[in-house]
Amino acid sequence: MPAILTLKQVSKTYATGFKALDGVDLEIRRGEIFALLGPNGAGKTTLIGIVCGLVNPSGGSVSVAGYDIRRDYRAARSLIGLVPQELTTDSFELVRNAVAYSRGLFGKPADPAHIEKVLRSLSLWDKRDSKIITLSGGMKRRLLIAKALAHEPQLLFLDEPTAGVDVELRRDMWALVRSLRETGVTVILTTHYIEEAEEMADRVGVISKGRLILVEDKAELMRKLGTKHLRLQLKQPLARLPQELEGLGLALSADGREIGYSYGSNGSGGGAAGGVGDLLAALTRAGVAIEDLQTTESSLEEIFVGLVHETRSAQA
Ligand SMILES: Nc1ncnc2c1ncn2[C@@H]1O[C@H](COP(=O)(O)OP(=O)(O)OP(=O)(O)O)[C@@H](O)[C@H]1O
Ligand SMILES: [Mg+2]
């Protein structure tokens, strides 16, 4: 199936001379949920702005369902819904009219039944005749989503959809995004909440300093980069590791009471090729008695921080 969104070597240098994007290549599959992660200023909103025609790229090409965003701008843009990062809805307009108006902007015929469906799915139907200024922050955010869905887009951008949103609403939002996918909508979201990506995304992209440094299936990413850490408390403190345990990648704590060991979450890695079982056997053979043990697993958050930190130090 052809990609719904293709970016080739997309770059952006702002008028200030600042290079916000640097040769970004990306293909988004139809029907997936893609999470774009990156620290503040990494270029996420710039990338979205380019695809939506709000920011002029300095180089490269972008197409949406085969439509080039410059040559076939209207066709491309009509397939896209955008929920911007900034709340921009302070007005005296009524909720229902604002959503209907957004649909009209794309030249779609009025469809009150669709508007009702969208408002109901966002729990805004009760507020349909309220003025926007009377809505709470969370409701305004949902209204922005309703507006973005008014013209039945195939590709929805959510730029930090849950920033400043309470826990319950965040969960509602996740459920909504999943239900959108079931209707065939492709979703690209940016977020600082790794938990959000972990929870929702099929694939994850990491952007740092304008470069897309990684694109991976979420499950694969966690399998490849996720590590487990094993900590063993010893019955008797050791002055140093027994010689036969050297080269296994073990770390003895300064007080000699604890041994630490990191290994891949698929059971391999570290120094002991056979994994934890072999390691424990080797310890027993060496006469090291174990009092207690714990394992911890690195989360997507730790993976992400590690990646961004790596590129930062590589570029420094
Ligand atoms: N209009 C502009 N003129 C000059 N520089 C800009 C402009 N817009 C953005 N930038 C710069 O480009 C870089 C990327 O900004 P962008 O908004 O794309 O980041 P982001 O990844 O969305 O960050 P955040 O997580 O804070 O939303 C930043 O350094 C920003 O200061
Ligand atoms: Mg942003």
pLDDT in tens, 37-94: 988 899 999 999 999 999 999 999 999 999 999 999 999 999 999 998 887 766 889 9
Domain ranges of the chain: 5-223, 227-297
Work out the number of other CB atoms within 10 angstroms of the CB of residue 77: 20
The CA distance from 191 to 196, in Å, is 7
The pLDDT score that the predictor gives to residue 267 is 47
Query: Considering the domain 227-297 in this protein, what is its CATH number?
Result: 3.30.70
Between CA 129 and CA 110 the distance in angstroms is 17
* Ligand 1 first shell, C-beta below 6 A: 14, 16, 18, 20, 38, 40-46, 85
Which residue ranges in the chain fall short of pLDDT 70?
1, 89-90, 224-226, 265-274, 298-301, 311-316
Distance from residue 261's CA to the centre of ligand 2 (Å): 38
Q: Are 156 and 186 in contact (CB under 8 A)?
A: yes
Specify the CATH architecture of the domain 5-223: 3-Layer(aba) Sandwich (3.40)
Main-chain phi, psi angles of 54, to 5 degrees: -95, -20
Amino acid at 187: V
Nearest-atom index, ligand 1, CA of 46: 18
User: Separation of 39 CA from ligand 2 center, angstroms?
Assistant: 9
Per-residue pLDDT at 271? 46
* CA 47/CA 207 separation, integer angstroms: 10
Q: Which of 19, 77, 75, 68 is nearest to 48 (CA)?
A: 77
Residue whose entry in the numeric block shows the structure tokens 């991976």: 216
C-alpha angle 202/204/209, rounded to 5°?
A: 165
From the CA of 252, how far away is ligand 1's center (Å)? 45
- pLDDT for 316: 54
Return the residue whose CA atom lies nearest to atom 12 of ligand 1: 20
Render the burial of 164-202: b for 16+ CB within 10 Å, e for the rest: ebeeebbebbbebbeebbeeebbbbbbbebbebbbbbbe
CA of 162 to the centre of ligand 2 (A): 13
- Residue 192: what pLDDT? 79
Say which ligand is closest to the CA of 191. 1
pLDDT of residue 265: 56
Close Cβ partners of 201 (under 8 Å, ≥ 6 residues apart): 33, 34, 35, 189, 218
Residues with CB in 5 Å of ion ligand 2: 44-45, 85
Pairing of strands 258-264, 251-252: antiparallel
The ligand that comes nearest to the alpha carbon of residue 159 is 2
State in Å: Cα 63 to ligand 2 middle.
21
> Which atom of ligand 1 is nearest the CA belonging to 85?
27
Q: Which of 79, 151, 143 is nearest to 109 (CA)?
A: 151
